[in-house]
Amino acid sequence: ANGDGTWIPNHDIPAASPILIRLSLFSSTLAYFIYTPSQEEVQDFCEHLTAYSDALRSADWRLLSIVCWLIPRLPMASHSLARGLDSLRGAYAGSVDTVLKNLEKTLRTLAKPQESELFDRNLVLVNILRCPNLISPEGGTNPHFHMEHKFALLQMNEKVIRTPDISPRAAKAARELRMGVVAVLRTTYMNRAATRELTFNHLDLLKSFFDELRGVERSDVYLQEDAELVRMFTPIIEELLSYHPRRWTGGRIGRDPELHWCRWQDSPLAPGEEGGVDQD
């Protein structure tokens, strides 16, 4: 048997600890890639993976990382672990960059229907999109989940929403994720503004995000999604631009055509004037 003894029975998964689920999936993955599985064992592995994905709604960041490492690699097995062992170790460690890299591949794989389904792609996609760790990794305690990572997550989520023929259930989950990420971004921006730690780089992240969306194929559906994004971000931008107005000085926004998108046309203060440009 190909690691059958390491699986947690499906009916026990809701009560199992996230750590136990993660270790079980990790050891089963090692067994799957070390041995040459039969077609029946491939199907069995994928069915277990589908059941384990239910735990993503309350489980830890590293379980999400392992699931996202696995999805793009299935059903490929035998002789591939030697080349992928280091990346599997990295997935178990769960660095933010690694998780987001694998997440992007996973969302792209799951959002597009395949001719043959080894597992319920739609269910796994919904479970990933509803994983609370996406919005707040490790309960918000992960110090490496920076603002640029949140925008990267939002960007890949927008691609899911715009996938042709995406199921209504997955689209709903993706829109809920969008609302959650935007809410976190608003809090982050406002906190930084309140403590005067907001820089033009943070505004550039907003601009870059919308620039990326320009490359997405246009249709009436996509335009509706664009309009919804603008509606959600407009209060954030307006609040930022009205918060401590003299903080945004030096004339960069007024003079730089690349920053006219944020519509701030206040006259620049002279260097050395109160609230003027930092000289360092």
HEC profile of 205-251: HHHHHHHHHCCCCCCHHHHHHHHHHHHHHHHHHHHHHHCCHHHCCCC
Ordered per-residue pLDDT tens for the chain, 280 residues: 344 558 999 899 989 988 899 999 999 888 887 777 788 888 889 999 999 999 998 767 899 999 999 998 887 654 455 566 788 888 999 899 999 999 999 999 898 776 567 888 999 999 999 998 888 776 666 778 888 999 999 999 999 998 888 899 999 999 999 999 999 988 888 887 777 777 778 888 888 888 887 766 566 667 888 889 889 998 888 877 776 544 444 434 444 444 444 443 333 333 333 433 333 3
What pTM was estimated for this model as a whole? 0.81
Residues 6+ apart with CB under 8 A from 78: 33, 35, 36, 37
* CA distance linking residue 203 with residue 240, whole number of Å: 9
